[in-house]
Amino acid sequence: MPFRGFELHIPAPERRPGERPSFDHLKIPPAGATPRPSPSTPAHELRELPYGLARVLDDAGNAVGPWKPDIDPETLRRGLKAMLLTRIFDERLFRAHRQGKTSFYMKSTGEEAVSTAQSLLLGASDMCFPTYRVLGWLMARDYPLTDLVNQIYSNARDPLRGRQLPILYSARDYGFYSISGNLGTRFAHAVGWAMASAYRGDSNIALGYIGEGSTAEGDFHETLTFASVYHAPCILCITNNQWAISSYSGIAGADETTFAAKAIGYGLPGLRVDGNDFLAVWAATQWSIERAQAGLGATLIEFFTYRMEGHSTSDDPTRYRPSDEPVEWPLGDPIERLRQHLTLIAEWDDARHAALVADLSEQVSAAVKDAEAVGTLGKSKPPVTEMFEGVFSRPDWRLIEQRREAGAE
């Protein structure tokens, strides 16, 4: 081949603000088209899998193809409820931020199927290592709404005692590990936790989440090496919501390969799954659980989804992407798709949906009201002594002296 001269390649998304959204480059296969090999298949025979897209629900709402899970309507309704509750809660608390009641908020909008389906499927003694967009995990497990709002307001009843930014929850009893604002690090904790389960001969599975943007972090790659080397019983999930603040997924390498395909280099199975399809999320997670339980170790899953809102309350996505991109997303809204399916199989109807929305809205309003009775950010806080607790198992002389100096005794 002739020498053509070098040119530095800078990736750019298909469309910018003011342009019509386009998703032609995505090559989304129809529901049912991607095969489902047995979970016992060796990883080296699964190398085509991460280039497909496991889908169950078709455009009409039918459940089709090899990934169609065996799941009863009652569980589907629980999933729909948890997704709706997440959406309604996000809307209400985002508004609370705009009303000056807290400093920060992040929504899960458009990504609710992933965390809710996995929360319902995993066991009580399993552990998820969350990102900041998996509120659905807690909603599916009936975490007290008032405690969420207390945390968001950092008030006197905040279960995290006023020490942590809003929505960076921790809920051990609900299988929900502590979140922090730095990215990628907890992926390694998930694998360590899974290694500990295997070390003890237990049957507990760890489920780690990471965003597609953070797959560029070294911790992602080091973690996959560990997961592979030690056959750790874990499910490592990439939620590819297409956007990392203003950076489209191509900045993290999406134009060159799929995120699921990163698994191949580590000798792990990689699944690429429609993350807006509750049934497909369920089926892929079930596949990975069976694989771990059979002693075959970790699975990497890319959930292909879409961040319908801004990164956080500090972000305006219309500055960098077409404003109607969220409604044009070809894989739709996960809530509407599950609702459509339940309606199609005669297990749901508009009246029940409207009643559920009204009921959940009422629950959220009541929780907000209860938390506001305690106080919003700055109006109420835990005692200042809490600032000095929990740094170490017991405060050393520095903290005791400084607590006195701060007048917090």
Partner 1 sequence: MPEKGTAANSSMSMIQALNSALDTMLGQDPDTLIFGQDIGYFGGVFRVTEGLQAKHGAKRCFDAPIAESAIIGAAIGMAAYGLRPVVEIQFADYILPAFDQLVSEAARLRYRSGGQFWAPITVRTPYGGGIFGGQTHSQSPEALFAHVTGLKTVIPSNPYDAKGLLIASIEDEDPVIFLEPKRIYNGPFDGRPDVALKSWAGHPLAEVPAGHYTVPLGQAAIRREGNDVTVLAYGTMVHVAAAGIEQSGIDAELIDLRSIVPLDIETIVESVKKTGRCVILHEATRFSGFGAELSALVQERCFYHLEAPIERVCGWDTPYPHAFEWDYFPGPGRLAAALARVMEPA
CA-closest candidate to residue 84, choices 365, 358, 368: 358
Amino acid letter, 251: I
SS3 content of the chain, % helix, strand, coil (to 5): 45, 10, 50
Q: How far is the CB of 275 from partner 1 (least distance, A)?
A: 25
Long-range contacts of 156-162 (CB under 8 A, 24+ apart): 156/374, 156/375, 156/380, 156/381, 156/382, 157/371, 157/374, 158/381, 158/382, 161/382, 161/386, 161/389, 161/390, 162/381, 162/382, 162/386, 162/387
Q: Tell me how crowded residue 96 is: count the other CB atoms within 10 A of its CB.
A: 22
Total site size for partner 1, rule CB under 8 A: 43
The piece of 132-140, 160-168, 301-309, 342-350 that touches partner 1 (CB under 8 A) is: 160-168
Task: Decide whether 112 or 147 has the Cβ nearer to partner 1.
Answer: 147
Determine which residue in the list 89, 94, 226, 278 makes contact with partner 1, applying CB under 8 A: 226
**Residue pointed to by tokens 């709706």:** 84
163 touching partner 1, by CB under 8 A: yes
Task: Decide whether 26 or 399 has the Cβ nearer to partner 1.
Answer: 399
- Rounded to whole angstroms, how far apart are CA atoms 403 and 409? 7
Q: Quick check: 298 and 271 in contact, CB under 8 A?
A: no
Determine which residue in the list 122, 167, 188, 268 makes contact with partner 1, applying CB under 8 A: 188
Angle between helix axes 334-344 and 278-293 (nearest 10 degrees) is: 90
Task: Decide whether 195 or 252 has the Cβ nearer to partner 1.
Answer: 195
Determine which residue in the list 293, 390, 404, 408 makes contact with partner 1, applying CB under 8 A: 390
The piece of 8-16, 91-99, 188-196, 272-280 that touches partner 1 (CB under 8 A) is: 188-196
397 touching partner 1, by CB under 8 A: yes
Assigned token pair, 270? 């990689």
Q: How far is the CB of 215 from partner 1 (least distance, A)?
A: 15
180 touching partner 1, by CB under 8 A: yes
Amino acid letter, 40: S
Site string for partner 1, 205-224 (x = CB under 8 A): -x-----------xx--xx-
CA-closest candidate to residue 27, choices 302, 229, 214, 304: 304
236 touching partner 1, by CB under 8 A: no
DSSP for 72-90, written as a single string = -HHHHHHHHHHHHHHHHHH
Q: How far is the CB of 294 from partner 1 (least distance, A)?
A: 20
- Rounded to whole angstroms, how far apart are CA atoms 40 and 128? 23
161 touching partner 1, by CB under 8 A: yes
The piece of 4-12, 38-46, 195-203, 353-361 that touches partner 1 (CB under 8 A) is: 195-203
192 touching partner 1, by CB under 8 A: yes
The piece of 62-70, 78-86, 90-98, 162-170 that touches partner 1 (CB under 8 A) is: 162-170
- Rounded to whole angstroms, how far apart are CA atoms 379 and 375? 5
Task: Decide whether 139 or 165 has the Cβ nearer to partner 1.
Answer: 165
348 touching partner 1, by CB under 8 A: no
Q: Which residues bind partner 1 (CB under 8 A)?
A: 129, 159-161, 163-164, 168, 170-172, 177-178, 180, 182, 185-197, 199-200, 206, 218-219, 222-223, 225-226, 229, 390-393, 396-397
